[in-house]
Chains A and B, each alone.
Chain A
């Protein structure tokens, strides 16, 4: 399973890939993570790729992806052509309008707005998105995801980040129910 988190620098995109990669490792799977490097990850178009599978991983770079999580229009436009037809698109619905040509699975969530209005901090939008994606696809176990987030976020912000993660999971459940 090849997952690409993409957006603009500052949205916490790199962290998303690192968290899923580490959580998959805790689940006993093989996983690797790569990311765009340099000034792009600090303001421009940025991506964080994670590959998760049961057996050894040989390729470090790939064009085709199974899941695209787009947090900006630019990133959706840039990477949607690489999403496999049977793949899944997740997008920040206030910021992204997927290309009309995409006819595969897609699920949107207004993660940034929810983060600000319900949790008071826009910065946890990435956590809402991570919960949303994992709630829909179950890429990693819930326990591993929570444990990794707690370890990776700055001291004192664990509760807020876990709450944001839970909010995303709830929205995925609601989306499934409809």
Chain B
């Protein structure tokens, strides 16, 4: 490490300032890693896995330059554990993985929910189940992101459709994690993770970082208000962190039903009450349209291309893109679908988001799934639009 009188945060800002305002031709994975750094991430714990390895690669290269820590662990169980520990020690921390690793992390994602630990878990989805098609993209983990860990809980998950969004939304993931004191899933896919595209880094002064709210000795870190402040390790305060049901002060109490009820309802409520504020949905509604296309992640790109082609040929088609996947932006999607007879949902899976959409909209939902490791083409989706319009 360089000998310096600067604080780590100043070293980081100085370094990132040198990158600010520049444009780069990089992969989605690289953009996500750089976004994390701009968001103030100083700890990465992970185990490399295709198609997320480039995130680990960039973090291993960059974190030492800003006085941060990159640790490659023996597996994903250790990785997520260390990420949670680093957050309690004051770091903005993250890991990056893909399907098999995401499965291994589920128990401790629940621990992060229960202990209200702010951290970011990137899942660059690949074709499963199991090892599946290891190098090929899919969108098969949408429901796992929501319900992969056991027990009642809410989760936040965002899904990027461009490389620039991999950068921008990585920053938002960290801010949401801090604001709601919760793990946030960055639900990428192998297609967007590996495509290279133009990405502009903002100047460091343009990046908003949600500050961590910290409490003082004696303050409740697990209750008393909807989102309580954190008491970090090393600050000199007494804090007890447990995944078991606990009282407002963190002390274990697994027998009192009202304690569990109050705790878990609050964990759910803190996200559920803010769902409109967390919701990001791109809506391009066309007056008089009876057909709509809803897509997210990489699939949203050919989907939008197909919609624009159909419109150029005279068809009226609406386009909806949920960027926030969880909590599901149902009311925003329902409003955008008002007046539609049918909604086509292309996904790289055999049916996940379409089922959630069905819970909110009145129109027919036509799932257009594709698996096997290839993303839809705009021609395929346009053909589906024409079939539906017949």
**B301 adjacent to A59 (CB under 8 Å):** yes
**B134 adjacent to A60 (CB under 8 Å):** no
Q: Which of B112-145 contact A (CB under 8 A)?
A: 134-135
In the assembled complex, A38 has its CB within 8 A of some CB on chain B: yes
Q: How far is the CA of A38 from the CA of B23 in the complex (A)?
A: 27
Name A18's contact: one of B25, B305, B308 (CB within 8 Å): B25
Provide the residues of chain B in CB contact with A61, threshold 8 Å. Answer: 191, 374-375, 377
Provide the residues of chain B in CB contact with A32, threshold 8 Å. Answer: 195-197
Q: How far is the CA of A37 from the CA of B305 in the complex (A)?
A: 25
A18-B25, A21-B25, A21-B196 known; A59 vs B50 contact (CB < 8 Å): no
In the assembled complex, A25 has its CB within 8 A of some CB on chain B: yes
In the assembled complex, B198 has its CB within 8 A of some CB on chain A: yes
Q: Which of B239-276 contact A (CB under 8 A)?
A: none
Chain A's nearest CB lies how many Å from the CB of B52? 12
B residues neighboring A (CB under 8 Å)? 23, 25, 50-51, 134-135, 191, 194-198, 298, 301-302, 304-306, 308, 374-375, 377-378
Q: How far is the CA of A177 from the CA of B196 in the complex (A)?
A: 36
Q: What's the A-B contact tally at a CB cutoff of 8 Å?
A: 55
Chain A 14-25, CB-CB to B under 8 Å as 1, else 0, gives 000010011001
**B191 adjacent to A18 (CB under 8 Å):** no
Name B378's contact: one of A18, A37, A59 (CB within 8 Å): A59
A18-B25, A58-B308 known; A34 vs B194 contact (CB < 8 Å): yes
**B195 adjacent to A37 (CB under 8 Å):** no
Provide the residues of chain A in CB contact with B25, threshold 8 Å. Answer: 18, 21-22, 25, 31, 33
Chain B's nearest CB lies how many Å from the CB of A37? 5
Provide the residues of chain A in CB contact with B50, threshold 8 Å. Answer: 37-38
Interface residue count for A (Cβ, 8 Å)?
18
- 12 extra A-B contacts, CB within 8 A, seeds A37-B51, A58-B308: A18-B25, A18-B196, A21-B25, A25-B25, A31-B197, A33-B195, A33-B196, A34-B195, A38-B135, A60-B298, A61-B191, A62-B377
Provide the residues of chain A in CB contact with B191, threshold 8 Å. Answer: 60-61
Name B301's contact: one of A18, A30, A33, A58 (CB within 8 Å): A58
Provide the residues of chain B in CB contact with A25, threshold 8 Å. Answer: 23, 25, 198
Who on chain A is nearest to B300 by CB? A58
**B196 adjacent to A34 (CB under 8 Å):** yes
**B302 adjacent to A60 (CB under 8 Å):** yes
Q: How far is the CA of A32 from the CA of B197 in the complex (A)?
A: 5
Chain B's nearest CB lies how many Å from the CB of A7? 19
Q: How far is the CA of A21 from the CA of B23 in the complex (A)?
A: 13
Chain A's nearest CB lies how many Å from the CB of B114? 37
Provide the residues of chain B in CB contact with A34, threshold 8 Å. Answer: 194-196
> Which 7 residue pairs are nearest across A and B when measured between Cβ atoms?
A58-B305, A22-B25, A33-B196, A38-B135, A37-B135, A25-B198, A32-B197
Interface centre among A18, A35, A59, A60 (most CB of B within 10 A): A60
Chain B's nearest CB lies how many Å from the CB of A61? 5
Q: How far is the CA of A31 from the CA of B357 in the complex (A)?
A: 33
Chain B's nearest CB lies how many Å from the CB of A57? 8
Who on chain B is nearest to A58 by CB? B305
A22-B25, A33-B196, A37-B51 known; A60 vs B304 contact (CB < 8 Å): no
Provide the residues of chain A in CB contact with B51, threshold 8 Å. Answer: 37
**A58 adjacent to B198 (CB under 8 Å):** no
Provide the residues of chain B in CB contact with A21, threshold 8 Å. Answer: 25, 196
Q: How far is the CA of A18 from the CA of B196 in the complex (A)?
A: 8
Chain A's nearest CB lies how many Å from the CB of B20? 18
Provide the residues of chain B in CB contact with A38, threshold 8 Å. Answer: 50, 134-135
Q: How far is the CA of A25 from the CA of B298 in the complex (A)?
A: 20
Provide the residues of chain A in CB contact with B196, threshold 8 Å. Answer: 18, 21-22, 32-34
Chain A's nearest CB lies how many Å from the CB of B270? 37
Provide the residues of chain A in CB contact with B302, threshold 8 Å. Answer: 58-60
Q: How far is the CA of A54 from the CA of B196 in the complex (A)?
A: 17
Q: How far is the CA of A34 from the CA of B137 in the complex (A)?
A: 13
A22-B25, A37-B50, A38-B135 known; A59 vs B377 contact (CB < 8 Å): yes
**B198 adjacent to A60 (CB under 8 Å):** no
A37-B50, A38-B134 known; A60 vs B23 contact (CB < 8 Å): no
Provide the residues of chain A in CB contact with B198, threshold 8 Å. Answer: 25, 30-31
A21-B25, A21-B196, A33-B196 known; A60 vs B375 contact (CB < 8 Å): yes
16 residue pairs A–B, Cβ–Cβ below 8 Å = A18-B196, A25-B23, A32-B196, A33-B25, A37-B50, A37-B51, A38-B134, A57-B301, A58-B302, A58-B306, A59-B302, A59-B305, A60-B191, A60-B298, A60-B301, A61-B375
